[in-house]
Structure 1
């Protein structure tokens, strides 16, 4: 059975846009989907990518506006038309709700999608306890027990471990899907992920000069 390791932030717009399609692909091809929710900022910073606030307005308007609109329409995913009101709030507890349930299976798939959807469709605050309690209850969980588990040191250490794993594996954004060690970055690559499940791509033979050497040429 093929395995996809799914590295993502639970507040990621593109993880949300690709969530239902990813689960459809996994069901169709009998894929085991391993969830690795992570903290995105440390991963981005490790790759020296500019933060949201460090980007130009034109970059923000395109990548965090127009691209989101187009892909949401293409995938027929309902989405708010603005940056979520509580997007900068702590989503560690929300991530912990996924990790407290495990790392694979239909229950985890549903919780992951529910949290992403609530944030990007309903403008939900992923740091708000009553909101998280309601979402867990709607999925049939004992919300008090799940939230208690999500906030424990052991679960939060798993979140940190996923973040460190992502950095060690040179992941630089959310979502990233890893199939047989081959990473596919971005939900816009889900067609390539599905193709690879039936017809694997040839191993990469591409060679780039070291970045340090390129910098010396400037």
Structure 2
């Protein structure tokens, strides 16, 4: 079974918009979805991209407005009609809940989707213990045990390792999917990803022209 590596942050709008779709693609094509939740800002900034706090208001308005609204309508995914209230909260513990369950399988898929959905559909605070406990219980887990495991040193280390793996793979945003070494950035590339499963893509290796080229 082929693996699809999935880099994303637990509060990512576009990871949420593509969450159900990527899992559908994996089921249809017998792919194993390998979860790699990451701390987004350090990865984005290390690759040279601007954090959102440094971007223009026009860019932020477009990102948190039109693009999300259009894709939510296209994917038939419910979203809040504003930038989530707690979008800048620390989502490390939420990421740890995913990692504590492993990196693949139905339980991991369900937890990842539930966290993204809670944030973008229900305006949930992913740093709030009571909120995270409620999500864990709803999915059939012992919330106290899972939250303890989510803070274990080995889980914290795997979270850091995911960030380093993302940098090594030249990931610069969430979500990013990697299929047999080929990267697809953004949930709007999921249709191209699905096509690549059936029709392997042999990309041209673009080279920058010499500086003095005319």
TM-score by length of 2: 0.96
Question: What residue in structure 2 maps to residue 85 of structure 1?
Answer: 85
Equivalenced residue count is: 213
Across the aligned residues of Structure 1 and Structure 2, the Cα RMSD in angstroms comes to: 1.4
Shift of 1:209: 4.9
Show the counterpart of 2:180.
180
Query: 1:55 maps to what in 2?
Result: 55
Within 5 Å, which residues of 2 pair with 1:19-168? 19-168=19-168
Distance 1:46 1:204 in 2: 27
Structure 1, unmatched stretches of 5+, are: none
Contact 1:2–1:197 (Cα < 8 Å) also in 2: no
Is the 8 Å Cα contact of residues 79 and 121 (structure 1) preserved in structure 2? yes
CA separation in 2, counterparts of 1:8 and 1:29? 21
Q: CA deviation at 1:64?
A: 2.4
Q: How far is the alpha carbon of 1:62 from its aligned partner?
A: 1.2
Q: Which runs of 4+ in 1 moved over 3 A?
A: none
1:205 equivalenced with 2:202 (yes/no): no
Structure 2 unaligned blocks of 5 or more: none
Residue-by-residue CA offset, 1:146-171 (whole Å, 9 max, x unaligned): 00000112111111110111111110
Are the structure 2 counterparts of residues 161 and 202 from structure 1 closer, same or farther at C-alpha, using a change threshold of 3 Å? same
